Amino acid sequence: MQSAIEAPQWFSQGAEHVWRPYTQMKTASPALPVVSAEGTRLRLADGRELIDGVGAWWTVVHGYRHPHIEAAITAQLRTLPHVMFGGLAHESAYTLATRLAALLPGDLNHAFFSDSGSVAVEVALKMAAQFWLNQGVRGRTRFLAFQGGYHGDTFATMAVCDPEEGMHALFRGIVREEPVVPLPVTNEDFARFEAFLEREGRTVAALLIEPLVQGAGGMRMHAPETLRRISELARSHGILVVFDEIFVGFGRLGSLFAMQQAAVVPDIVCLGKALTGGFLPLAVTVASSRVFEAFLDDSPSKALMHGPTFMGNALACAAANASLDLFEREPRLAQVQQIETWLSAGLAAARGAPNVVDVRVKGALGVIQLRQLPPAARLERQFADAGVFLRPFANILYTTPAYVSDEAEIAQLTRALVAAAELDPSRA
């Protein structure tokens, strides 16, 4: 770890004023000052290089500073960095919306841009609620979500996260209480889920689910057949289906969109994180034609009254279009499949360790679930000494590497994870 003497001046001065995310500021170790990044690697102020095994919170899929995305942003910067989206249009956003509609299955054709995943989910919830209100239906006011789920940190999204195991339990009684039920896996689970729908389905506007992997709620995985069955049951009770693909979209699980593995098309899908290849903040909520048409009316009151200030930012949309170019031109999905093989082989060594509950891999996501996570400061030191940056949470060690990572880099990440899994969690 860096000492105060080694740290650059901007870091020493700014550390007193910056409030960091998900961090107890009284006891936390200092953040690692990064001065540059390229490919899969972060360069620290003290000269060390670390492989970023988290991919900038799951966003940097093509690697840092990919020249094609850099060039697209630079070209956009020289002509139109930003213009308000109310009453004005620009090529980058309209082209991106057209491309997303072509890539997404079914009739997911109507893109509403925002600047973060939490807001994209908020927009989806607003769309779903107003879909019913615009048709004169007043009873469908709730949103159904699943235990182990995570959909954001804003107030509406906190209400559809797991209230017991998530990070938002402190806000019970402040945020709205929504029905959050066990994610069904067995036939018995599905019988209970269907019984809930029979009792309360008429009060539910939409069901919200992370397809195939619940991310920040614990990296829990479920089968495509499970996703398909949940969606079918919800629809049989007239409930809109919303997929939160902010984590899993754009190749993370081996297909461009996770929903493709289940051959299910939701009514609304939320996308973000890897949308711009990790260069700039951008998210999008894409609605089906059925949902969109419920807002078409002569009455202004039936319009969707939402509009982030930086909605459809031209620089971010240019980055997203360039990222889609790379999915077309370069073998990203094949690279993800190869990473899955490397992760499976490397993490297998953790199986059977006393503190290990489970090891699971899907696409470019590798997870070791522990009984107890070792002290954070110890893990931070050990990972940095191993030449990697990883950020565990709860009882989860995981990696979400860039898709351009090579075999040696994946091996370095998996060795670091396995070594961490073998630590005695009771030792500081």
Place of tokens 């806000």: 171
The domain spanning residue 337 has which CATH number? 3.90.1150.10
Q: 382 and 317, same structural domain?
A: no
- For the chain, the domain total comes to 2
Asked if pLDDT for residue 3 goes beyond 50, the answer is no
End position of a domain, from candidates 329, 351, 377: 329
The domain spanning residue 284 has which CATH number? 3.40.640.10
Average pLDDT rounded to a whole number, residues 153-158 = 94
Burial of 136 (0-12, 13-18, 19+ CB in 10 A): exposed
How far is it, in rounded angstroms, from Cα 274 to Cα 86? 25
Residue 427 placed within a domain: no
- pLDDT score, position 170: 86
What mean pLDDT value characterizes the chain? 96
Residue 342's closest CA among 359, 357, 364, 327?
364
Tens of pLDDT, residues 165-202: 667 788 888 999 999 999 999 999 999 999 999 999 99
Asked if pLDDT for residue 4 goes beyond 80, the answer is no
Q: Which of 52, 162, 244, 267 is catalytic?
A: 244
* Catalytic annotation present for 273: yes
End position of a domain, from candidates 329, 362, 392: 329
Q: 201 and 346, same structural domain?
A: no
Residue 224 placed within a domain: yes
Of the listed ranges 63-72, 151-160, 163-172, 231-240, the least confidently predicted one is 163-172
Q: 406 and 338, same structural domain?
A: yes
Residue 21 placed within a domain: yes
Asked if pLDDT for residue 96 goes beyond 60, the answer is yes
Tens of pLDDT, residues 299-354: 999 999 999 999 999 999 999 999 999 999 999 999 999 999 999 999 999 999 99
Residue 383 placed within a domain: yes
Of the listed ranges 86-95, 135-144, 165-174, 291-300, the least confidently predicted one is 165-174
For residue 42, give its domain range: 9-62+331-421
Tens of pLDDT, residues 34-83: 999 999 999 999 999 999 999 999 999 999 999 999 999 999 999 999 99
> 329 with 219: CB under 8 angstroms?
no
How far is it, in rounded angstroms, from Cα 69 to Cα 32? 26
Q: Which of 22, 94, 297, 424 is catalytic?
A: 22
Q: 78 and 209, same structural domain?
A: yes
Residue 364's closest CA among 352, 383, 349, 346?
346
Q: 132 and 30, same structural domain?
A: no
Q: 218 and 157, same structural domain?
A: yes
> 299 with 271: CB under 8 angstroms?
no
Q: Which of 52, 115, 150, 267 is catalytic?
A: 150
Residue 355 placed within a domain: yes
* Catalytic annotation present for 126: no
- pLDDT score, position 426: 86
How far is it, in rounded angstroms, from Cα 97 to Cα 284? 9
- pLDDT score, position 2: 47
Q: 362 and 266, same structural domain?
A: no
Rounded to 10°, the helix 376-385/407-421 angle is: 150
- pLDDT score, position 166: 65
* Chain centroid to CA 419: 26
Q: 408 and 350, same structural domain?
A: yes
Secondary structure percentages of the chain, helix, strand, coil, to 5: 40, 15, 45
Q: 341 and 267, same structural domain?
A: no
Q: Which of 64, 162, 267, 273 is catalytic?
A: 273
Which tops the pLDDT comparison, 166 or 110? 110
Q: 341 and 309, same structural domain?
A: no
End position of a domain, from candidates 298, 329, 360: 329
